[in-house]
Structure 1
């Protein structure tokens, strides 16, 4: 399974675990990006807990956050990708200013070895609840 297949599989599994209904998004005015993050391997478990807490809070508290999926590469678990879809650019900016996101950023600051944000355009997105 290549990285993209793993990413899509992880996204589908996470969508199912969140209990969402069938989801099919169109590009519209949505803001979509992929965060490519390299984590200090010695702190990977701590990072995973922090990102889970942040994603749970964002999904629960922010109506403009539509999708947040975090996956790691199978052969390089310290390489994490976070797939993000927001209702629009304003929702993304509100997310960056949220208390839970600022808490996450402060908590992981010394764990993150590199971060690259890649803006994306959806081609086809879908997830099915179990």
Structure 2
């Protein structure tokens, strides 16, 4: 039974990942080079109190799904956790531009996430990133087929 649950969870992760890949491919092929350079990329590093982990993951999953579905400017909100320490969460965030990020912060689903999880978060670090090779983005996702 446990093996079935693990396999089912892995399939869900694969489906979400394929959705992200498809969206990124569509976005990158319909976006000019100048627009790609305006992209805002960051990695959020979050440590969750162990007793809040399951509730936090459920709220984060709901928020990331809503962001991808409802916000055209959200290219990626891809949460993941460390295998050895599941209370250490990292989120790859990619926004079309700074304006898309600012709009994201005002959405009902983000505000719900932020207010609901505030006491669950032990630490939060937001790391601003720059892509080394934006032109490689479509090729990366094509390899997943």
Shorter-chain TM range is 0.7 to 0.9
TM-score with structure 2 length normalisation?
Answer: 0.73
Structure exhibiting the larger radius of gyration computed from Cα positions: 2
Paired residues in the alignment total 119
Q: Aligned match of 1:28 in 30, 34, 37? A: 37
Q: Aligned match of 1:116 in 121, 125, 130? A: 125
Q: Shift of residue 21 of structure 1? A: 5.6
- Root mean square deviation, CA, Å: 2.2
State the distance in 1 between where 2:121 and 2:64 align.
17
Give the unaligned 5+ runs of structure 2.
1-12
| Contact 2:21–2:141 under 8 Å retained in 1 | no
State the distance in 1 between where 2:68 and 2:103 align.
13
What's 1:8 paired with?
Answer: none
TM-score with structure 1 length normalisation?
Answer: 0.81
Q: Answer 1 or 2: higher relative contact order, Cα 8 Å, separation at least 6.
A: 1
Give the unaligned 5+ runs of structure 1.
1-11
Structure with the higher fraction of residues in helix conformation: 2
